[in-house]
């Protein structure tokens, strides 16, 4: 008999957020190493291969394969089951990242000590803040000479508005990085550099503050500096409080070097108690109870063409309550139909494993033949539906023209299916006589992927004409009169798949002007929930 409560409470579902190159791939691997899921780091994915992979389609496919294979990584540590969600690695801040974060209960914000807060860090942080996801900070690359740790923590507080509470503090940096001082235990965890270059766990020694062994390792200047820093923090009274952390008011902070495995072990040991077990989520019936024994979950991501020979797709479900059992029958809330969940999979590295059971907090892959949409709720409840995942206003728009007008039906089918998966958004011109559909995306890569997929999967050769608009906002308000807004070439209007008007602006000044002129009567928004009407 499964102990449902225990299974749910031992789940820890999180994601790592960072600017590219801060070391996310490296830290992911090292967590898997310390979590015992791999035995030698370097096995999960070849970074070089995936980095150069954004240039051509074949490589994109390959990269997609890799990143899909590792969409969710699982490992066990100190009795807890960790689900580490992989957020997309490329530079475009995509909706995919946002959607993935909706499935996490906690985020690890990775900062490069030399670079501090970077643009992508800010965007991802904002998403976590908006979603109420608590954030643990890991400051990386202490094996290199970077900035003063205090400077970096100050910058985080200034730029992101969240105070960092150091759980440990680095002693030395670069070549003289000695280890991290644990503030609670009041000892130094000293690291030894190994010839394996981080492939195996680092050797560590615990050195009590002021002991002979400590003094052999740490210079008097370093000791003095450490004591001063600790006094500064103790005097400031910025103690760690679990409540403040869970409410996103503070970020407990760790230092280390993921590449050398310095500080990864101490981080993971503490993370077990920091990362919350599955948290309640907003539904149409209030916040759900993650410990309830009825199964429920929502689709946060859809990945098409896992196998290019078959037009199959996988819907990723975040389990939010109860226990999933393969073969169970659930309600598909949006359509009111029953669904039998027979084809469930889990991904790790290149293997797909059939999943027999899963619990609140886990991520489940379901083979789907086109019934599921992002944001859909599945569950044993009759009506409970999780709050939908918002759509963001795209920044790139292209008109899709056909070389062969007879292919229109295929084109629309392809675009509708691909937009269901959330890869791009589909729009139509408000003037119905302009029949060419319009695709919107945040990054150019997404547009290219769709063009290729239209050709490869739907046999449609489409021409893409980029439209000269850089910003867009949905507009809500009574008595919407399009004529008030339209200025050919500078402001245009599209309708989304729910027939809601989206205004396109030539640049941000035009948007500001329109918002100033009409701000009192209309609401201009950059993100909408599915189903929102005026």
Q: Which residues bind ligand G4P (CB under 6 A)?
A: 18, 20-26, 47, 89, 140-141, 143-144, 257-259
- Of all helices (H) and strands (E), which one includes residue 273? helix 264-274
**47/407 with CB nearer ligand G4P:** 47
Closest contact distance (angstroms) between CB of 121 and ligand G4P is 11
Inter-helix orientation angle 24-34/264-274, to 10° = 80
Closest contact distance (angstroms) between CB of 142 and ligand G4P is 7
Closest contact distance (angstroms) between CB of 20 and ligand G4P is 4
**64/334 with CB nearer ligand G4P:** 64
**12/141 with CB nearer ligand G4P:** 141
**23/116 with CB nearer ligand G4P:** 23
Nearest Cα to 474, choosing from 427, 421, 408? Answer: 427
* Count of H-run helices and E-run strands, the chain: 14, 33
- Of all helices (H) and strands (E), which one includes residue 503? strand 501-505
Question: Is-contact 329 381, C-beta < 8 A?
Answer: no
Closest contact distance (angstroms) between CB of 328 and ligand G4P is 37
* Cα gap 404→388, rounded to integer Å: 37
Closest contact distance (angstroms) between CB of 109 and ligand G4P is 12
**141/313 with CB nearer ligand G4P:** 141
Name residues whose C-beta falls within 8 Å of residue 273's C-beta, 6 or more positions apart in sequence.
none
> How distant, in Å, are the alpha carbons of 19, 30, 42, 217 from that of 198?
22, 8, 9, 21
Other CB atoms within a 10 A radius of the CB of residue 405 amount to: 9
Pairing of strands 391-392, 357-359: unpaired
**112/182 with CB nearer ligand G4P:** 112
Question: Is-contact 92 445, C-beta < 8 A?
Answer: yes
Q: How far is CA 460 from the centre of its chain?
A: 32
**121/425 with CB nearer ligand G4P:** 121
Name residues whose C-beta falls within 8 Å of residue 471's C-beta, 6 or more positions apart in sequence.
393, 395, 504, 505, 507, 508, 510, 511
Closest contact distance (angstroms) between CB of 239 and ligand G4P is 28
* Cα gap 420→333, rounded to integer Å: 17
**41/218 with CB nearer ligand G4P:** 41
Closest contact distance (angstroms) between CB of 74 and ligand G4P is 19
Closest contact distance (angstroms) between CB of 141 and ligand G4P is 4
Nearest Cα to 35, choosing from 275, 356, 253? Answer: 275
């Amino acid at each position: 008999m499964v102990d449902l409560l225990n299974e749910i409470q031992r789940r820890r579902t999180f994601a790592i957020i960072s600017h590219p190159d801060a070391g996310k791939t490296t830290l992911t691997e090292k967590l898997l190493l310390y979590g015992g899921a791999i035995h030698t780091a370097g096995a999960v994915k070849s970074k070089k291969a995936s980095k150069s992979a954004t240039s051509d389609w074949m490589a994109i496919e390959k990269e997609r394969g890799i990143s899909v294979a590792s969409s969710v990584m699982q490992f066990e540590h100190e009795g807890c089951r960790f689900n580490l969600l992989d957020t997309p690695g490329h530079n475009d801040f995509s909706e995919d990242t946002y959607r993935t974060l909706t499935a996490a209960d906690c985020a690890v914000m990775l900062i490069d000590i030399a670079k501090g807060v970077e643009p992508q860090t800010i965007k991802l942080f904002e998403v976590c803040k908006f979603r109420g996801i608590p954030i643990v900070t890991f400051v990386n690359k202490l094996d290199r000479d970077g900035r003063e740790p205090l400077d970096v923590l100050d910058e985080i507080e200034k730029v992101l508005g969240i105070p960092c509470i150091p759980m440990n503090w680095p002693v030395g940096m670069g070549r003289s990085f000695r280890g991290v001082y644990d503030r609670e235990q009041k000892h130094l965890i000293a690291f030894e550099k190994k010839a394996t270059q981080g492939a195996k766990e680092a050797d560590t020694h615990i050195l009590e503050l002021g002991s002979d062994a400590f003094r052999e390792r740490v210079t008097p200047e370093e000791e003095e500096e450490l004591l001063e820093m600790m006094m500064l923090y103790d005097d400031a009274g910025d103690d760690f409080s679990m409540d403040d952390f869970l409410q996103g008011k503070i970020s407990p902070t760790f230092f280390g070097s993921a590449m050398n495995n310095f500080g990864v072990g101490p981080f993971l040991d503490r993370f077990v108690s920091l990362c919350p077990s599955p948290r309640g989520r907003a539904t149409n019936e209030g916040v759900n109870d993650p410990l309830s024994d009825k199964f429920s979950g929502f689709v946060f991501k859809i990945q098409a063409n896992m196998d290019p020979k078959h037009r199959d797709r996988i819907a990723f479900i975040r389990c939010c309550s109860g226990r999933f059992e393969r073969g169970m029958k659930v309600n598909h809330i949006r359509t009111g139909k029953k669904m039998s969940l027979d084809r469930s999979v889990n991904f790790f590295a290149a293997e797909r494993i059939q999943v027999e059971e899963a619990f609140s907090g886990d991520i489940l892959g379901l083979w789907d033949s086109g019934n599921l949409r992002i944001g859909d709720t599945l569950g044993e409840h009759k009506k409970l539906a999780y709050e939908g995942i918002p759509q963001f206003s795209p920044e790139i728009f292209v008109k899709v023209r056909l070389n062969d007008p007879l292919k229109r039906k295929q084109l629309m089918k392809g675009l509708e299916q691909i937009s269901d998966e959330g890869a791009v958004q589909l729009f139509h011109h408000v003037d119905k006589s302009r029949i060419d559909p319009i695709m919107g995306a945040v990054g150019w890569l997404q547009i290219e992927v769709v063009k290729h997929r239209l050709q490869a999967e739907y046999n449609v050769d489409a021409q893409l004409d980029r439209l000269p608009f850089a910003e867009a906002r949905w507009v809500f308000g009574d008595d919407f009169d399009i004529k008030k807004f339209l200025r050919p070439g500078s402001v245009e209007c599209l309708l989304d798949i729910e027939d809601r008007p989206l205004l396109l602006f030539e640049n941000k000044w035009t948007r500001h002007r329109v918002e100033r002129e009409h701000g009192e009567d209309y609401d201009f928004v950059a993100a909408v929930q599915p189903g929102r009407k005026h």
